[in-house]
Amino acid sequence: MLLGLASACAQGTLDDVPSDVPLEAAADAPVEAAVDVPPAVDVPPSIDVPPSIDVPTELTDDVPRAMDSGVDVRAPEDAGSDVPVAVDVGVDVPVVPTDTGWGPTGYRVVRNDPAGRWVDACAQPGHQTVLSDVDDGSFRTALPFPFRYWGQPVAEGAAVLVSPNGYLTFQPSAPTPANGIIPNRLDGVDAVIAVQWRDLRTRSAGVCLAVLGNPGARQWVIQWSDARYFTSIFGHLNFEVVLNESSDAIDLNYGSMTLSEPSTVALESWDGSRSSVPFTIPQPIVFSNTRARFLPQ
Ligand SMILES: [Ca+2]
Ligand SMILES: [Ca+2]
């Protein structure tokens, strides 16, 4: 509109100025001034903002891909299935740490970090086997060494609830639902470490608990051994959580995961408001012989 007016002024005379132009503008401002008006028409800076619009797209679509090595190296048993390739790499390929961007008390995840390793808790001398042949419920145990979770110290001996449904929580009085998502402040249970949160059923091998190493550098391994999904007798799922005393890192390790299905895999903050990674939706399918190490920031 202003350009049109300026153009009319430039080509005609002052007598051509439309009658709806304020008298002050017509009388006081020289023609050049009217021609200079167009800068006001410049594209507003706000139109350049789109980078912020890209953020949700990265969180939902690009982040899992960024965790991928970019090489389709899935285990043969998984090849040919229609599960998302983005979730896992299938073999021990170190991947550049991905900053989850959740702030100083959050975690960043390293896929298949060489520093992590599968530990067979069920084969360790002195291990404890619990939750054999059960569907739901929980086993209450004690943290074997001091640990920091989401930036908050948890004392040695603090209660930990282990669920047969593929997770544990630092909230000893919380309910232990069979299914859940992270984050969720409304489900009554927060501070959840979900390694394979689904309605599972354990077999006789149950869940093995073992402490390895010397004070200051101990590892606490909680291993679900040959579990299955409640809705299928065919799955054979072997996975574990490892808490590392020296670094406060948390490893989610997966052994043989025959017929694995989408499950919640994440670390939930103390108040249930945050997740370690945007894993919740869609829920990932975890392949056999993979690992994820969560490093406190
Ligand atoms: Ca169950
Ligand atoms: Ca929760």
pLDDT digits (tens, 9 = 90+) for 138-172: 999 999 999 999 999 999 999 999 999 999 999 98
275 bridge partner residues: 268
76 C-alpha to ligand 2 centroid (Å):
35
Classify burial at 136, counting beta carbons within 10 Å of its beta carbon; exposed 0-12, middle 13-18, buried 19 or more.
middle
Please check whether residue 37 is in contact with residue 6, taking contact to mean a CB–CB distance below 8 angstroms.
yes
116 bridge partner residues: none
In one letter, which amino acid is 141? T
Please check whether residue 12 is in contact with residue 26, taking contact to mean a CB–CB distance below 8 angstroms.
no
pLDDT digits (tens, 9 = 90+) for 183-225: 899 999 999 999 999 999 999 999 999 999 999 999 999 999 9
263 C-alpha to ligand 1 centroid (Å):
13
In one letter, which amino acid is 224? W
177 C-alpha to ligand 1 centroid (Å):
9
Return the ligand number nearest the Cα of 131: 1
Q: Which residues touch 78 (CB under 8 Å, ≥6 apart)?
A: 90, 287, 288
180 C-alpha to ligand 2 centroid (Å):
8
Angstrom CA distances, 221 to 109, 171, 250, 290, stand at: 19, 18, 10, 16
246 C-alpha to ligand 2 centroid (Å):
27
Strand (E) or helix (H) holding 211: strand 207-212
Please give the pLDDT value at position 105: 57
210 C-alpha to ligand 2 centroid (Å):
26
pLDDT digits (tens, 9 = 90+) for 218-241: 999 999 999 999 999 999 999 999
